[in-house]
Amino acid sequence: MADVTEPGVAAGHQIPVAEGLFEITDDGQVALVGSRCAACDAHYFPQALGCRNPACDATTVERVLLGRRGRLHSFTVQHYQPPALFRMSPWQPYAIGLVEIEEGLKVMAMLSDVDLESLEIDTPLRLATERLYEDEAGHDVLTYAYAPYEEGTSQ
């Protein structure tokens, strides 16, 4: 999966649904790409051009990797097709969750590997990727998602 962010990938490789949302790190882990204000430590996802904290006068933010673990804050089950950019093939009802990540942000994401009937608030989640569809060039188009894991495991 190291080819996720490389331009000009060959057919059969994986590419992100939108550049700059997530990346696969050198250790093979998925990470969200966000920003952090150097002055007030506020975190943003997706990346921000400047600090939006009204209590902070700084304008400089730095690129940071975020969100490998979190807890399910809220969710809903979607029974309709998503917008074209996030289309799925094959399509089936899916869950979207509001995930509170370690940095304190709440991130909206698809939920992967979940039983739609038994989802529970406060479930521990780990960041993963989810295949949405195959594009015209034969690439698997991926998005970020969160999947349940057992706390205390190395996932």
In a domain, 108, yes or no: yes
In a domain, 131, yes or no: yes
In the predicted structure, residue 11 carries a pLDDT above the cut 80: no
In the predicted structure, residue 57 carries a pLDDT above the cut 70: yes
In a domain, 115, yes or no: yes
pLDDT at 49: 93
Q: Which two tokens stand for residue 44?
A: 């943003």
Give the pLDDT band (50/70/90) at residue 154. Answer: low
Mean pLDDT of the region 120-133: 94
pTM for this entry: 0.83
Mean pLDDT in the chain?
87
In a domain, 153, yes or no: no
Q: Which spans in the chain are helix H?
A: none
C-alpha closest to that of 72 among 111, 118, 15: 111
Using CA atoms, how far apart are residues 126 and 113, in angstroms rounded to an integer? 11
In a domain, 154, yes or no: no
In a domain, 155, yes or no: no
Mean pLDDT of the region 13-23: 90
In a domain, 111, yes or no: yes
Mean pLDDT of the region 91-118: 94
